[in-house]
Amino acid sequence: MAIVNRTPDSFYDKGATFGMETALKRCDEVIAAGASIIDIGGVKAGPGEEVDSAEEIDRVVPTIARVHERHPDALISVDTWRSEVAAAAIAAGAGLINDTWAGWDPQLIEVAGHHRVGYVCSHTGGITPRTRPHRVHFDDVVADVIAETTALAEKAAGLGCPEELIFIDPTHDFGKNTYHGLELLRRIDEIVDTGWPVLMALSNKDFVGETLARAVGDRVAGTLAATAWAAAHGVAAFRVHEVAETVDVIRMTAAIQGTAAPRDTTRGLA
């Protein structure tokens, strides 16, 4: 799942794809690099400029329509917590709703079910969208994640979302600290064992930066290490900035496991 931010203030790319043409170029590039899902968002996840639903629609819907026209076979996801944005995005060609704020708008999951599109079930510990956690506590963060995300997944399936497009996302950094993020990876088998496809959004996040004492621009190696660990333990999808590098990590992990063949072998054979 490739990240495409139609925002001027993204924590990582600092607005690199805020313009329509740069966003479309990014979509072309990530599809060529191997992304199978394009996740288009119009509001920065963290605190920042207020963006109402009308502005969010203006940012994401025309982009989705253009990408759908250029790449009709690509699965387009809209990163939103608002049901009215999701409905407009689906009409433009989105086939997956990435609800990163865990059902804050209770109608959002109903929109996904009504239109028979996919739905990402997130875990935030109940915090308000675009706020940061403060001294957050869980008796057992993994158990809490499993309970919240699987309940949403079952609801989504019951409302009509296709089960193969219902993902559960532990949602690193959202309502959690770095110790929680590491525990979610350490115990990822428990989340995978729920049977729902697991999506992880690890890319350049604060839990990586705090673990390694690295600034935002220096977290790729840590991100890829976490990705390799998660891929080896059965995580189904990754929401990422660095698509080509992530695809290589996934392919290499699968080759080591014996579930995928090397792609170009001549050494010692010719």
Nearest of 258, 264, 217, 259 to residue 241 by alpha carbon: 217
In DSSP terms, which residues pair with 5 in a beta bridge? Answer: 41
44 in active site: no
Q: Give the span between the Cα atoms of 111 and 82, in whole angstroms.
A: 10
The pair of three-digit structure tokens given for residue 194, joined into one six-digit string: 């729920």
Structural tokens at position 181: 């993020």
| Contact between residue 52 and residue 81 where contact means Cβ atoms under 8 Å apart | no
| 239 a catalytic residue | yes
Q: Which of 6, 187, 205, 219 is catalytic?
A: 205
Q: Coil, strand or helix: which one is 121?
A: strand
Side by side, the strands of the sheet bearing 118-121 are 2-5, 37-41, 75-79, 96-99, 118-121, 166-168
DSSP string over 44-108: -SSS-S---HHHHHHHHHHHHHHHHHH-TTSEEEEE-S-HHHHHHHHHHT--EEEETTTTSSTHH
Q: Which of 26, 239, 263, 267 is catalytic?
A: 239
Place of tokens 């629609």: 57
Structure-block tokens of residue 99: 């609800």
Which residues are catalytically annotated? Answer: 205, 239
